[in-house]
Amino acid sequence: MTTILVTDDSTAQRELIAGLLVDNGFSVITAIDGEQALEKVQETLFDLIILDVVMPKLNGFQTCRKLKEDPKTQNIPVILCSTKNTDVDRYWAKKQGANEYIVKPFSPNELIEKVQQLLGQA
């Protein structure tokens, strides 16, 4: 089964995204911040990682950069999610190695389509 790591410091957002993914047949593990996400990738090889941008300790940009620098995790697709909707944010996400950037609030279909595209299931 495809396993996705969902990282968001907002419990409501984390549960919303996780529930949507589970409803669409994915296995989900969650983390509350970037540091916890990096710990969890050492325990489990994920098929895809979703990161909130604004988080304490390590933000989504920093976490993505660390994931893409590590040979063990550099090929895992990463989706950054944020309320920030500027060209600079999108550009910075790509510079950190993110495969996709989704602006909150997003539609359930938008998220599932991006996930399926990145996993080659579209």
Domain annotation covers residue 118: no
Full residue range of the structural domain in which residue 78 is found: 3-112
When divided into structural domains, the chain yields a total of: 1
Count CB neighbours of 121 within 10 A. 12
**CA–CA separation, 7 vs 4, rounded Å?**
10
Domain annotation covers residue 26: yes
* CATH number, domain with residue 25: 3.40.50.2300
pLDDT at 122 over 70: no
The pTM score is 0.96
Domain annotation covers residue 119: no
Q: What is the pLDDT of residues 13-69, one digit of tens each?
A: 999 999 999 999 999 999 999 999 999 999 999 999 999 999 999 999 999 999 999
The 48-52 sheet, strands edge to edge: 27-31, 3-7, 48-52, 78-82, 100-103
Domain annotation covers residue 120: no
